[in-house]
Amino acid sequence: MLEFCINLELRFDFSGNGESEGKFEDQCYSKYVEELKNSIDFMKKDNKKIIVIGHSFGSNIIVLEYEKYNNINKIITLAPGFFLERKRVLNLVLGFIISSIKGKENFIDSWGEKRSLKIRFFLERIKYNIKNAIKKINVPLLIILAGDDRAINNKKSKRFFKNNGINYTEIINARHGFGKEKYLNHITKEILKWLK
């Protein structure tokens, strides 16, 4: 008997990011949760198992989408944005205050690009409890941290993972975007090993 294994994959950027339509400043958690759900629904038509990979902020969206819909079989997070560095948290608070006055706030993102966010983003960030959502994950979870991440608070992340029995792996010296080929190769090896 001949068996065929067909794996379909979908890579997309949330609206207002990368090559997707829309404005970055219009982003919000609830909108992205629904965009991810729609993508998963699309893939479920032809796939029984859904594995979702997210980087940074995308990791937050995956966790929140899973908490709401419980429709993912495996979750992989790269440099997850669960716990931001203190400076970034202060920037979020300041951003919230300024955006409540001006309607939006300008800032420099992790990639060095100038961006704007509207107050809705900050209000939703306060509303969601990502820590509780992480604790509710009951499917296989792979967390890969960037050892030299300056956007994410790795100490706080590691402490949270340890205290909650969550395993993670760390790529030493990698920055938030894992930009070098050797780090990307390391990620690929870790993911393939984990998926076996």
Q: pLDDT tens digits for 5-62?
A: 556 788 888 888 888 898 888 888 999 999 999 999 999 988 889 999 999 999 999 9
Band of pLDDT at residue 87, cut at 50, 70 and 90: low
Reply yes or no on whether the pLDDT at 172 is more than 60: yes
The domain segmentation of the chain, as residue ranges, is 24-39+48-83+130-195
CB 140 within 8 A of CB 114: no
Reply yes or no on whether the pLDDT at 2 is more than 50: no
Question: What integer best gives the mean pLDDT of the chain?
Answer: 86
Min mean pLDDT across 61-65, 89-93, 112-116 is at 89-93
Q: Rounded to whole angstroms, what are the CA distances from 64 to 28, 33, 69? A: 12, 7, 9
Domain 24-39+48-83+130-195 has CATH 3.40.50.1820: yes
Percentage, residues of the chain above pLDDT 70: 83
What is the reported pLDDT for 1? Answer: 43
Report the alpha-carbon distance of residue 15 to residue 35 in Å, rounded: 8
The overall pTM is greater than 0.75: yes
Reply yes or no on whether the pLDDT at 136 is more than 90: yes
Q: Which residue has the higher pLDDT, 157 or 91?
A: 157
What is the reported pLDDT for 6? Answer: 55
What is the reported pLDDT for 86? Answer: 58
What is the reported pLDDT for 119? Answer: 73
Band of pLDDT at residue 173, cut at 50, 70 and 90: very high
The arithmetic mean of pLDDT across residues 132-143, rounded, is: 96
What is the reported pLDDT for 132? Answer: 93
Band of pLDDT at residue 95, cut at 50, 70 and 90: low
What is the reported pLDDT for 126? Answer: 76
The arithmetic mean of pLDDT across residues 54-73, rounded, is: 95
